[in-house]
Structure 1
Amino acid sequence: MATTARTRKTTAKTTAEDDTAAAPDIEPTDSGPTAPEAAPLEPPHVDDAPEPPAAPLYVTPTEVIPDEENLADVILDDATGQPPANLDEVFVPLTPFGSTLQCTVRLIERTFLGPHHSPVTRLLQPKGAVVSENIAARIRERLDAQAARTNPNQ
């Protein structure tokens, strides 16, 4: 049995020697991408950013007015932080013969909500909102009452 082990080792040794002797000297080649010899003359093409979507041409109205217990005492023009100066120009007709009105100022109201009466500022009507006559009349009544409270002489 010892002879068979030697022959196996000898056979393995001779086959390894034959492989190295039979292989010619070949230099390894790099088959990966190569860098260009010169830089490009023009910068790469970059697309411009897409334009943002256009602003909507209409403003959706808020047709909800809070119930009587949550109505605010103060309605303000958001741009000035004061009550609207000219109450006749707050709502203007959208068309000469139509029954819808357009709000010309952004109306906000300051109120107190919740069990602890936390102060809250909320949007009553956005600028440009198209509202019905009855909604405009309700807001106009509140603005008139507010003006009568602040200026009792008028």
Structure 2
Amino acid sequence: MGQIALGLCAGLLLAGCAEDYGLDQHGRKVTAEQMEGQWLVINYWAEWCGPCRTEIPELNALEEQVKDKHATVLGVNFDALQNEALSKAADTMGIRFTVLAQDPGERFKLPRSEALPVTYLVDPKGQVRERLMGEQTAAGLSKRLAELQAKE
């Protein structure tokens, strides 16, 4: 009986590792399978954040540059906007990358930042490799990702 319970717990833990990421700004499901083997560039933004507004085009460019290099850009609205409000804000900001409606902070044990923008680089194993405060550029992020990927 003990081994059955242990096996059941192990199965639940493994299933938890593959939980989906919730919905994006368009109401589409973001699956764990889509993110498998990907480096994640997780950026927290808000409409009221001036540096976030100038950083968004850089993140759009980065998404185009890295989409075939086992990396993806994910946005998270700092104010936890949902549904139509999230969709409208992402559209207003000109965001072309995926914005998660559900904050992945707990999943990756990301420290809550009171300053914006903040960007986290997460490896395919789910380990936070870097926390970058302030406005980033596509060139800088692409270079840093390549350096981290080369160490793998």
Q: TM-score category by the smaller chain?
A: under 0.3
**Structure number with bigger Rg:** 1
The higher relative CO (CA closer than 8 Å, separation ≥ 6) is in: 2
Higher helix share: 2
